[in-house]
A = this chain, B = another copy of it.
Amino acid sequence: MSGKKKFTIGIDYGTESCRAVLVDVQNGDLAASSVYQYTHGVITQKLPDTDIELGPDWALQHPKDYINALKRTIPKLMKESQIDSDQVIGIGVDFIGSTVIPTTSDGTPLALIDEFKDEPDAWPKIWKHHAAQEKASQLTQLAVDRFETFLDRYGGKINAEWFFPKVWEILDNSSNVYNAADRIIEASDWIVWQLTGVESRNICAAGYKALWSKNEGFPLETFFGALNPGLANVVDDKMKREITPLGEQVGELTEEAAKWMKLKPGIPVAAGILDGHAAVPAATVVEPGSMAMILGTSFAHIILSNKEFRVPGMSGMVEDGIVPGHIGYEAGQAGGGDHFAWFLENAVPSVYEKEAHKRKISIFDYLEVKAAELEPAESGLIALDWWNGNRSILVDSDLTGLMLGYSLSTKPEEIYRALLEATAFGTRKIFETFIASGVPINEIIITGGKPTNNKLLLNILANVTRMEIKLAKCLYPSALGSAMYAAVAAGEARGGYATIQEASKNMAHLKKETFPPNNNDKKTYNRLYTEYTLLHDYFGYGHNNAMKRLKNLRMNILRKKQ
């Protein structure tokens, strides 16, 4: 057996589906891949099998989909690759986050228990669940008032997508559910618990989503108690103070989980990790100065540094949060590929669909062709890329999208291009903030999903940021990253690696093709970026709070209509 190749499995739980990969540990080659579309998708309207309607901005998932994903994908991997279960030396899992699951003491999600299945707060709330915005704002305000030091690590604002706003929302909406929950746990840890029988809390989710740091631990009981007395002991009652480093083995695959996956029990399972962060070493980013930009429905920007800086509006800085030994800085754009998907679904006239059909290309490709024919500034349009709020640097999910410059001759491809450009301007805003705060960016490496195939977007990114854009060479970056952490959890003795740096050096690669900026476009985009900044600051810093007031009116109507 020792002569046989070694493999690890990486499992990547996303927003709509779960992707599993089987990867050659020696060189990162993909041996097999399988995807499972969640039966219940993202639940935003009604609780499954009920007439119970969810409020606006709610977004849940079904825990059964998580286990079914294992049952459906892993056996396929093994069958497709024809390798032996013994050759699998480790399993790693990443998950969208913060995904908050209240469970019993044995890890059973309350959503699966009859008594609680009609309670919306018993269900896993995913990142997209923005209903806890009020809680996040109050939490931030209290932290400001109390001079809480953790605030500085999160750019001064706590995001509604994170762990504690959602936990507090559970207590506030349904003390019933809160009290019945023996544990409240991130999905990235919950799934590892399901695989190993061991409850752990990974440093990545704890650091980026649950306000934990190596030096200070979690916020104090007095802080939580000031939010709501019932919340004072949330950490000791519902969580764990022990935090597991990345690449560490949490436990071994249990008999039951092995059966789901048609694997042998005993395979080492690595600590969980957040999905975006798993993609970082898979993009070869394991040393300071290189920025991994993960393009998916939303965009994440992650850079490592040895020094501690305070970056306004960043999503978080976590020591050892991605690569042990380095501080991982994260920023993000709440709307990325989502914008383009929205546009495709809601704003493309049928003549365009027909033309794309005629040319035998996808409508996305057709729009790209049409939009690429335009020069920067030719459309006269400029947009604020806040269809899903602003994560960095404003950290405000109540901001909304804006498009300025419409004329009667405005064409769909012009609007589409303005959306691409706006996301690039949002990226530049983040880059400039990092650099101004002392974190240098020497290199940009793009990885992620669909938007990485959009050459026009990559060109625009290069010209707007005025930097050469490089691309990670892998189909499923987060899943590959998880497989890499699995190789570290397996360790050198089993045929894996001692560190994630070693794993990255061997298993991660870049594409040859790069996207350099060109001088003409750079100049025009400098002018457009000035316009973007004016609008960004005017609407983002409260000179005109129209977006918030309109959203508030809208939410009141939607709540009344329920």
Q: Which residues of A contact B (CB under 8 A)?
A: 335, 338-339, 342, 345-350, 353, 375, 377-382, 386-388, 400-408, 410-412, 415, 524, 527-528, 531, 534-535, 538-539, 544, 546-547, 549-551, 553-554, 557-558, 561
Contact A547–B408 (Cβ < 8 Å): no
A387-B400 in contact given A411-B346, A549-B531, A553-B380 (Cβ < 8 Å): no
Once the chains are docked, how many angstroms separate the CA of A403 from the CA of B410?
A: 13
A388-B403 in contact given A348-B349, A531-B546 (Cβ < 8 Å): no
CB closest residue in chain B, given A44: B409
Closest 10 CB pairs of A and B: A401-B406, A350-B350, A380-B554, A377-B553, A378-B557, A400-B405, A402-B404, A380-B550, A347-B347, A405-B550
Q: Closest Cβ of chain B: how far from A404's Cβ, in Å?
A: 5
Contact B377–A550 (Cβ < 8 Å): yes
Question: In the assembled complex, which residues on chain B have CB atoms less than 8 Å from the CB atom of A404?
Answer: 400-402, 539, 546-547, 550
A-B contacts, 25 of them at CB < 8 A, read A335-B408, A346-B410, A348-B349, A349-B350, A375-B557, A377-B554, A378-B558, A381-B550, A382-B546, A387-B408, A400-B404, A400-B407, A401-B404, A401-B405, A401-B407, A402-B402, A403-B403, A403-B406, A404-B539, A404-B546, A405-B546, A405-B547, A527-B549, A528-B550, A531-B549
Q: Closest Cβ of chain B: how far from A437's Cβ, in Å?
A: 27
Contact B347–A412 (Cβ < 8 Å): yes
Once the chains are docked, how many angstroms separate the CA of A266 from the CA of B406?
A: 50
Once the chains are docked, how many angstroms separate the CA of A382 from the CA of B401?
A: 11
Once the chains are docked, how many angstroms separate the CA of A554 from the CA of B400?
A: 26
A380-B350 in contact given A404-B402, A534-B546, A544-B538 (Cβ < 8 Å): no
Once the chains are docked, how many angstroms separate the CA of A546 from the CA of B535?
A: 9
Contact A382–B550 (Cβ < 8 Å): yes
Contact B380–A400 (Cβ < 8 Å): yes
Question: In the assembled complex, which residues on chain B have CB atoms less than 8 Å from the CB atom of A386?
Answer: 406
Once the chains are docked, how many angstroms separate the CA of A535 from the CA of B403?
A: 13
Question: In the assembled complex, which residues on chain B have CB atoms less than 8 Å from the CB atom of A405?
Answer: 400-402, 546-547, 550-551, 554
Question: In the assembled complex, which residues on chain B have CB atoms less than 8 Å from the CB atom of A378?
Answer: 554, 557-558, 561
Question: In the assembled complex, which residues on chain B have CB atoms less than 8 Å from the CB atom of A353?
Answer: 350
Question: In the assembled complex, which residues on chain B have CB atoms less than 8 Å from the CB atom of A554?
Answer: 377-380, 405
Question: In the assembled complex, which residues on chain B have CB atoms less than 8 Å from the CB atom of A382?
Answer: 546, 550
CB closest residue in chain B, given A532: B546
Once the chains are docked, how many angstroms separate the CA of A404 from the CA of B403?
A: 7
Contact B400–A402 (Cβ < 8 Å): no
CB closest residue in chain B, given A531: B546
Known: A342-B408, A380-B550, A380-B551. 6 other contacts (CB 8 A): A338-B408, A346-B410, A377-B550, A403-B406, A527-B549, A531-B550
Once the chains are docked, how many angstroms separate the CA of A349 from the CA of B531?
A: 30
Once the chains are docked, how many angstroms separate the CA of A549 from the CA of B350?
A: 32
CB closest residue in chain B, given A297: B408
A527, A554, A558, A561 pick with most chain B CB within 10 angstroms:
A554
Once the chains are docked, how many angstroms separate the CA of A538 from the CA of B527?
A: 20
Question: In the assembled complex, which residues on chain B have CB atoms less than 8 Å from the CB atom of A408?
Answer: 335, 338-339, 342, 387-388
Once the chains are docked, how many angstroms separate the CA of A404 from the CA of B534?
A: 15
CB closest residue in chain B, given A413: B346
Question: In the assembled complex, which residues on chain B have CB atoms less than 8 Å from the CB atom of A375?
Answer: 557, 561
Once the chains are docked, how many angstroms separate the CA of A375 from the CA of B557?
A: 8
Once the chains are docked, how many angstroms separate the CA of A381 from the CA of B388?
A: 14
Once the chains are docked, how many angstroms separate the CA of A406 from the CA of B415?
A: 13
Question: In the assembled complex, which residues on chain B have CB atoms less than 8 Å from the CB atom of A550?
Answer: 377, 380-382, 404-405, 528, 531
